[in-house]
Amino acid sequence: MHNRKKVLLKKSEKTLKSHLKNYKVKFFGNKDLDELWSEKDDDKNGWLDKFEAENFVKEVARIIDQDRAKNFDMSEFPKLFEKFDEDKNGYLSKGEMAQFIKIVFKGS
């Protein structure tokens, strides 16, 4: 029996928008977050690795209510990525990213 150790990435059925439905914040720009997610998900596997997630979060910081973005320091990103990658698989799912956004870009 072949038992190849391969990380099985299960695509999240829920959209980022639905994960964030209780997060009342305005995003500027004409893309929604799920569109932005697909755009930054370079290999289209449905998850964001560290590089992809960094690009995604940079864009979020640009389009989110600037009152929330002002406390975010991009140099802390590597640490935050580890923290919010709850299952430590090296990728952020939409659920994990929703937590990232809710906590890192919380209102003051």
User: Where does this chain bind Ca ion (CB under 5 A)?
Assistant: 41, 43, 45, 52, 85, 87, 89, 91
In whole angstroms, the minimum distance from the beta carbon of 95 to Ca ion comes to 9
The residue (of 48 and 61) whose beta carbon lies closer to Ca ion is 48
Q: For residues 59 and 8, what is the distance between their CA atoms, to the nearest angstrom?
A: 27
Residue 43 tokens, joined: 């290999």
Smallest separation, CB 85 to Ca ion (Å) = 4
Which amino acid is located at 87 in the chain?
Answer: D
Q: How far is the CB of 92 from Ca ion (least distance, A)?
A: 6
Q: How far apart are CA 92 and CA 89, in angstroms?
A: 8
Using the minimum distance from each CB to Ca ion, give the nearer residue, 67 or 87: 87
